[in-house]
Structure 1
Amino acid sequence: MTAPSDIAAWVATAFDHQPRDPKLFARALTHGSHGGGESYERLEFLGDRVLGLVVATWLYERFPTEPEGSLSARFNAIVSRESCAVVGRTIGVPAWLILGKQARDDGAQMSDNVVGDAVEALLGALYLEAGLDAATAFVRRAFDDRLDARSEAPKHPKSALQEWAAAHHCRPPVYSVVARSGPHHAPSFTIQVEVGGKAGGSATADGSSKQEAEKAAAAALLEKLA
């Protein structure tokens, strides 16, 4: 098992913070499959809320004239599981994850769900030890390119498909689960979306959660209908 002192050295580099309690950060990297102690779930719960507060405040300051709907679209894109996973891979989280053998064999080390959850857990640990200012500094540094990735707030594919259906006098989109596979810690969902009506159609897509698969299916159908 990775020594807490080694994790502390990595945290000092990745988060610009020298841990006072290395075991806290080791817990933030421990998946439930490892057994024999606490996992990152409670810290993830906390870190998710810290991330939300930091990003919401950041967006409020950065885009002072945008309405709530546009800010919400930007917010959802930045705090998404995929976004957190990208940040996690950038700072090297997968190499430090503490997993059970089966989870590691199943590829959990590279799962968006696991890596993204660990990023939130690490943020929770950072907040507990160093406070909101340190957490804010890390988020603004690590997520900066995602905040300014586009000049306009992104429109969620499901919202865009809903609007397309209304504009083309079609029935609202209907989403259904076609299949679910993979282990509990790294599931894969296949979702089909259908827009009924003369101009409508259907598409399917996969994702690591129902929400992400629905988003991907909506995007795929919009591309077909364009």
Structure 2
Amino acid sequence: MSALDPETKAWLADTGFTVRDEALWREALTHGSTGEARDYQRLEFLGDRVLGLAIAGWLHERSGDDEGRLAQRLNALVSKRACADVARAIALPDHLRLGKQARDDGAAQGDNVLGDVMEALLGAQHVEAGFDTARDLVRRLWASAMDGGAGRSKHPKSALQEWAAGNQRRPPDYELVDRSGPDHAAKFTVRVKVHKVGEAEATAGSKQEAETAAARKFMEIYG
């Protein structure tokens, strides 16, 4: 009996993945909400490292930037949002294996779940066919992000930190003011304040992303 739906197997192959062990790919696409014994988390752990090395090598090869700028671009290109954008571009949400409640809660479109599963698929590719094929796949799927402006501009938190110092203000203070929703679709609201200047709030799917969005909003208002 096939472990994968035939449409999902065909989609994986068409996207460029090497599908031999169907159970491995089923695992990569399975969310913990299904209650199955194996879900994507172990493969996500591996895929995160595969993606990081693939992007780092690519940046080093094509850019003469210093370490700080390379790190800035790397962080942007491997972020959950970047991974989720790639996942949507290849129609990954159509093939996610979710429990009913997680699906009803919108997990199939959330950056956190999509980003995690995208990494899990890269981990599965590494297991099935080795790093070189996973790296080549990353270069194809991330080509648009790499050629675009991802990570080229200064990170909003760094920009705000420098703005505060340049205006002789205290460093920005970030505060988590709310966390809501189930773990697979959590929402975090963060407030950033600069003493005697003002504050701004933003909500996102992770605390880090909410801090970034709050810093960006603060600079739009006060910068």
TM-score (norm 1): 0.94
TM-aligned CA distance change 1:187 to 1:33, over 3 Å: same
Secondary structure in 1 matching 2:176:
strand
The whole-number CA distance in structure 1 between the counterparts of 2:217 and 2:122 is 33
CA contact (8 A) 1:31 1:98 kept: yes
What's 2:201 paired with?
204
**Residue segments in structure 1 that go unaligned for 5+ positions in a row:** none
* Distance in 2 of aligned mates of 1:191 and 1:156: 17
2:7 alignment partner in structure 1: 6
Determine what percentage of the aligned residue pairs are the same residue.
52
Question: What amino acid maps onto 1:201 in structure 2?
Answer: G
Cα distance between partner residues in 1 of 2:175 and 2:218: 14
Deviation at 1:150, TM superposition (A): 2.8
Mapping 1:1-226, distance limit 5 Å? 3-14=4-15, 16-63=16-63, 65-150=64-149, 153-197=152-196, 200-226=197-223
Q: Assess, with a 3 A threshold, how the Cα gap between structure 1 residues 135 and 18 changes in structure 2: closer, same or farther.
A: closer
C-alpha displacement at 1:113, in angstroms?
0.4
- Partner of 1:154, secondary structure, is coil
Return the alpha-carbon distance in structure 1 between the equivalents of residues 41 and 7 of structure 2.
22
**What CA RMSD, in Å, does the superposition of the two structures yield over aligned residues?**
1.6
CA offset at residue 6 of structure 1?
3.2
- State how far apart, in whole Å, the 2-side matches of 1:3 and 1:101 are: 19
Distance 1:151 1:74, change over 3 A: closer
Distance 1:19 1:193, change over 3 A: same
Cα displacement string for residues 126-176 of structure 1 (whole angstroms, at most 9, x for unaligned residues): 011011111111111111111121398221111110000000000000000
Deviation at 1:60, TM superposition (A): 0.4
- What are the ranges of 5 or more consecutive residues in structure 2 without an aligned counterpart? none
CA distance, structure 1, for counterparts of residue 214 and residue 127 of structure 2: 38
Partners of 1:123 and 1:18 lie apart in 2 by 10
SS in 2 for 1:179: strand
The alpha-carbon deviation at position 217 of structure 1 amounts to 0.1
Paired residue type of 1:84: C
Go from structure 1 to structure 2 and tell me whether the alpha carbon gap of 1:117 and 1:164 turns closer, same or farther (over 3 Å shift): same
Q: How many residue pairs were aligned?
A: 222
Question: Which amino acid in 2 is paired with 1:23?
Answer: A
Give the TM-score taking structure 2 as reference length.
0.95
State the distance in 1 between where 2:142 and 2:172 align: 32
Do the aligned partners of 1:85 and 1:115 also contact (CA within 8 Å) in 2? yes
Structure 2 contact 77–150 (Cα < 8 Å) conserved: no
Check conservation: 2:76, 2:150, Cα contact below 8 A: no
